[in-house]
Amino acid sequence: MKLIAGVDIGNSTTEVCIGKKEPEGRIRFLSSAMVQTTGTKGTVENVHGIKTALKKAMSKLQMDPSELSYIGLNEAAPVIGDTAMETLTETIITDSSMIGHNPSTPAGMGQAVGTIITLGESSPLDPRTDYIVAASSEYPYEAVAQVVNQLAEEYSIVGIILQADEAVLVENRLKKKIPIIDEVAGIHKLPQGVLAAIEVAPPGETVQMLSNPYGIATLLKLTAAETKMITPIAKSLMGKRSAVVLKTPGGNVKEQLLPAGTLYFKGEQSLEISVDEGAQRIMETLKHAGEIQEIRGQENTNIGIMFSNIRKGMEGEEEIRISDLLAVDTLAPVKITGALAGETCLEKAVGIAAMVKTKQLPMERIADQLRQELKVPVQVAGVEALVASLGSLTTPGVTVPLAILDMGGGSTDAALITEEGNITITHQAGAGELVSLLIQTELGLKDRKVAEQLKKYPLAKVESLFHMRMENGQIRFVEESIDPKFFGRVVMLTKEGMIRLEEDIPMEKIVKIRREAKQKVFLTNALRALEKVAPEGKIKNISNVVLVGGSALDFEIPQLLMEELANYGIVCGRGNIRSVEGPRNAVATGLVILLNQKLEKDSGVW
């Protein structure tokens, strides 16, 4: 039996396709498989993944990879995508403290300003001063209530801060109702004698005064300069149900530790731009620079460090250069020094995906190794974009002239094939990985895997054991009761069942951030890539676009692109390689087709 395997080694995924040559010369496709790429694309470490993928595909035919007649490897483009995130400023607030959190059961409501007195530390009190009592968990609720009731007979007690989760128990025993914040773990960090403002929001609402810089200024009587300094505190308290802000002497300082830095574009024109100017200006400048030879970042700045980290991750550092980048504006959480419970505030940041050009990837070395291990002839055949186009043409309803958009993990690649078979290609930095990174940072997730899942799956909120509210507002009822562990939680809906989101983030917020991340990366890049390959550089000269690659599997990206490209009169849709693979396997399939053509040319009917 004459069997050909096509192997596509991508940044993220290694895909294979197995085709059988029929006696009349036709290729019949029998099987396919994919695994995660092992090692950096284009290195001998890839061999391990290739063999696993081939084994998987051949075992579906009850065969072994050694029974293959030929293996074709893609001539992987010598570009590798990488992503990084850099905040533009680092916020340091000294001599100022705050607590903001969402205790499950605060008590009382409203705001109060007073001087902190700590239970157990005696100090002379003044009948003309307002006080806020801070009590550690050493004091049971009866004791706290008793002391406060007693003090209130002579002095003005306007609020209470508790370490224990006992606000309601204390409140029930108070003669006069005042706001109480509880579950403040770091209560011993509250300095006695310092002026503090506390706020407890009514049920279902969030703090209004302390999440507003002018609100804090009103309560703590701040100057204009001081108000500017506490803005990060106000920002970080948005959305909280209760909060404490302390005024500590010495004033606040906000400093920028490391400058964001300048980007240098060496192209048809040499241009530079400060990263501070934001993504839009960076991308405009990049475009004006024309065909890019190299992009550099100013040394000893955030951008410089980020670029050198990208280079460090690659083999043969000296020979690589950054040839394209995609910058997107985002918000990243920055730790506030002075926050008593590790609170963060969101600061402007720039997310960057970079495209690194290496010297020609040593695909022949991979081919040698495979030949030795499997004893099967191996050929490196065909430029990636060309074979991707051949594969995409197996999508029903597709014909030349045609543009394909290959949306992978690290890069978005485009190719345009004319009726005459001429092909133009481009590689743009930024794809699925950058989307996951943006989701991770903007939601402040510790784990990239969770961001990756949030990208892929639609959400729902389990509102009772028999129904959930889908992210589009629909209510779905279920026949059998939902496992109680999902009750009240945001869940991801996968084919294998629900995944519970451990973080407490409102569903609407996740949906908004997820959509925006996809738009920022893929809308920008689709237009950039298509403009590069379009006849006369005009997108409207393209008539059809087929979307392929892992990110084309996304449940909302293809629709985003279809809507956008409809504005240019373009027919656009997700590929369906060989009518069965969806947007996957285009390159591997194209390789089988190309290798067969080559073999026929070289040796007649092989």
List the single partner that 550 binds among ligand ADP, Mg ion, none, CB under 5 to 8 Å by kind. ligand ADP
- Number of other CB atoms surrounding residue 280 within 10 Å: 12
- Give, as ranges, the residues between 367 and 386 that touch ligand ADP (CB under 6 A): none
How far is residue 258's CA from residue 88's CA, in Å, rounded to a whole number?
A: 8
**Shortest reach from residue 542's CB to ligand ADP, in Å:** 21
Among 3, 13, 101, 233, binds ligand ADP (CB under 6 A): 13
Q: Answer yes or no: are the C-beta atoms of 486 and 509 closer than 8 Å.
A: no
Q: Answer yes or no: are the C-beta atoms of 417 and 89 closer than 8 Å.
A: no
> Which CB sits closer to Mg ion, 330 or 411?
411
Q: Structure tokens of 597? A: 């053509």
- Give, as ranges, the residues between 532 and 551 that touch ligand ADP (CB under 6 A): 549-551
**Shortest reach from residue 420's CB to ligand ADP, in Å:** 28
How far is residue 202's CA from residue 182's CA, in Å, rounded to a whole number?
A: 15
83 binds ligand ADP (CB under 6 A): no
72 binds ligand ADP (CB under 6 A): no
**Shortest reach from residue 457's CB to ligand ADP, in Å:** 8
Number of residues interacting with ligand ADP: please give it, by CB under 6 A: 17
Alpha-carbon radius of gyration of the chain:
30
Q: Answer yes or no: are the C-beta atoms of 139 and 157 closer than 8 Å.
A: no
**Shortest reach from residue 70's CB to ligand ADP, in Å:** 22
List the single partner that 428 binds among ligand ADP, Mg ion, none, CB under 5 to 8 Å by kind. none
List the single partner that 524 binds among Mg ion, ligand ADP, none, CB under 5 to 8 Å by kind. none
Residue environment code for 184-196, b if the CB has 16+ CB neighbours within 10 A, otherwise e: beebeebeeeebb
72-80, 130-138, 406-414, 421-429 -> range binding ligand ADP (CB under 6 A): 406-414
Among 6, 10, 159, 590, binds Mg ion (CB under 5 A): 10
Among 81, 382, 391, 408, binds Mg ion (CB under 5 A): 408
Q: Answer yes or no: are the C-beta atoms of 547 and 415 closer than 8 Å.
A: no
What angle, rounded to 10 degrees, do the helices at 46-59 and 363-374 form? 50
> Which CB sits closer to Mg ion, 10 or 391?
10
Q: In the stretch 448-467, what mask flags binding to ligand ADP with x, by CB under 6 A?
A: ----x--xx-----------
**Shortest reach from residue 267's CB to ligand ADP, in Å:** 25
> Which CB sits closer to ligand ADP, 11 or 576?
11
User: Which residue from 176, 60, 57, 180 is spatially nearest to 112, judged by alpha carbons?
Assistant: 180
| Rounded (10°) CA dihedral 60, 64, 69, 73 | 80
Tell me how far the alpha carbon of residue 387 is from its chain's centroid: 30
> Which CB sits closer to ligand ADP, 199 or 406?
406
Q: Answer yes or no: are the C-beta atoms of 587 and 575 closer than 8 Å.
A: no
Among 409, 558, 575, 590, binds ligand ADP (CB under 6 A): 409
7-15, 74-82, 111-119, 470-478 -> range binding Mg ion (CB under 5 A): 7-15
Among 553, 560, 562, 571, binds ligand ADP (CB under 6 A): 553
Number of residues interacting with Mg ion: please give it, by CB under 5 A: 2
Q: Answer yes or no: are the C-beta atoms of 310 and 354 closer than 8 Å.
A: yes
Cβ-based burial of 567 (10 A; exposed 0-12, middle 13-18, buried ≥19) = exposed
297 binds ligand ADP (CB under 6 A): no
433 binds ligand ADP (CB under 6 A): yes
Question: Rounded to 5 degrees, what angle do the CA atoms 338, 340, 341 make?
Answer: 125
How far is residue 33's CA from residue 22's CA, in Å, rounded to a whole number?
A: 21
Q: Answer yes or no: are the C-beta atoms of 235 and 334 closer than 8 Å.
A: no
Among 106, 159, 304, 410, binds ligand ADP (CB under 6 A): 410
H helices of 224-362, where?
224-229, 231-237, 279-288, 302-312
12 binds ligand ADP (CB under 6 A): yes
**Shortest reach from residue 199's CB to ligand ADP, in Å:** 41
Check residue 537 and report its DSSP letter: G
User: Which residue ranges make up the site for Mg ion (CB under 5 A)?
Assistant: 10, 408
Which residues sit at the interface with ligand ADP, rule CB under 6 A?
Answer: 10-13, 408-410, 432-433, 452, 455-456, 549-551, 553-554
